Structure 1
Amino acid sequence: MAIREIITVPDPRLREVSKEVDEVTDEHRALMDDMLETMYAAPGIGLAAIQVGVPLRIIVMDIADKEEGPQPRYFVNPRIIDPAEETAPYEEGCLSVPDAYEELERPATCVVEYLDYEGKPQRLEADGLLATCIQHEMDHLEGILFIDYLSRLKRDRIVKRLKKEAKLKAKEGDKALAAAE
């Protein structure tokens, strides 16, 4: 297993629509293991493959309390069916949108069909944080970020800050490279 780099806004890869997985292979399981390790290290509760630069319809998550110990979940080619009309608010954040948190309303419950870690078909009825996390991560598979649901002003402020931070990091990297030469 390896920790991979999480790509962040404004990286254009985050806007890619991810591709279906034909069959879950050892390569996909290795990717899911890396994604889980990356997510835990970040730390976060969910991660889509595109967030580590792989445009495949794969999600990992773990919403368990620390006292419960790890309870990883793997979703390959997830599809939401039957989302509730009733919505619930949750404060969301995203590893690809660092240090930004906003309350969003999403369907309170949903049913998800997917392939598990072994490639076996599964069906899950989700509510609460699990339903919110699944919907958030599935948005990534369509190239949608949680900030897309915010007002233009809030979204633009967040993106502007992240672009500024990316430029600063690039300058620091250039300085470090020049000093090493």
Structure 2
Amino acid sequence: MALRTIRTKEDEILRKKSKEVKKITPRTLELIDDMLETMYDAEGVGLAAVQVGVLRRVVVIDIGEGPVVLINPEIIDKSEKEYLEIEGCLSVPGEQGFVFRPEEVTVKALDRDGKEQIIESKERFFSKAICHELEHLDGILYTDHLVEPSEEQMKEIIRQRKIEQEDEE
């Protein structure tokens, strides 16, 4: 395993569409392992292959429940109900902004062994991570969706955070 360089927003590769992985090879597995090591080292929760300069449809995510590997992922369902939350990105260091994301997402992808998996996320943070990382595969950054929250929306964000903190205790 090796740390890879995370590309930042000025790098044109981040705006390119990633290509499908046709066959999972030892090189693919090495990429996944390197991506995980790079993500953990950067203290991130998700990383797309394009963020380390590889135009392949590979994503790794770990929101604290163990790593999830998604190869050739596609969202097959998402809730119409969205929420507004602050978001950041390893490729946009030092910046954050508000983005609307679906509360629930279902994604179909291959795992590192090439087996098809369906992952249903009913947890906002995981859903946000999935959407964020999959957009990278199509050359989209979260900064493309930034919104300025209203006073009422900010109150709702604060209320939701309080509820989440109470649930954790």
Structure 1: which 5+ runs fail to align?
A: 65-69, 152-181
In structure 2, what is the Cα distance between the partners aligned to 1:106 and 1:43?
22
TM-score by length of 1: 0.78
Correspondence for 2:135: 139
Would you say how many aligned residue pairs link Structure 1 and Structure 2? 147
Structure 1 residue 90, shift from structure 2 partner: 2.3
Correspondence for 2:52: 52
TM-score by length of 2: 0.84
Correspondence for 1:92: 87
In structure 1, what is the Cα distance between the partners aligned to 2:26 and 2:54?
15
More helix by share: 1
Q: 1:119-152: CA deviations, max 9, x gaps?
A: 100001013111110000000000000001126x
Instruction: Give me the CA root mean square deviation.
Output: 1.3
Q: 1:12-61: CA deviations, max 9, x gaps?
A: 00001000001212111110000000000011000000000000000001
Q: Which aligned segments of 4 or more residues in structure 1 are displaced greater than 2 angstroms? A: none
Correspondence for 2:163: none
Q: Rg: which structure is higher?
A: 1
Q: 1:94-143: CA deviations, max 9, x gaps?
A: 00000111121111111100000111000010131111100000000000
Instruction: Find the partner of 1:111 among 84, 103, 106.
Output: 106
Structure 2: which 5+ runs fail to align?
A: 148-169
Q: Contact 2:4/2:34 (CA < 8 Å) preserved in 1?
A: yes
In structure 2, what is the Cα distance between the partners aligned to 1:120 and 1:16?
27
SS in 2 for 1:100: coil
Letter in 1 for 2:83: A
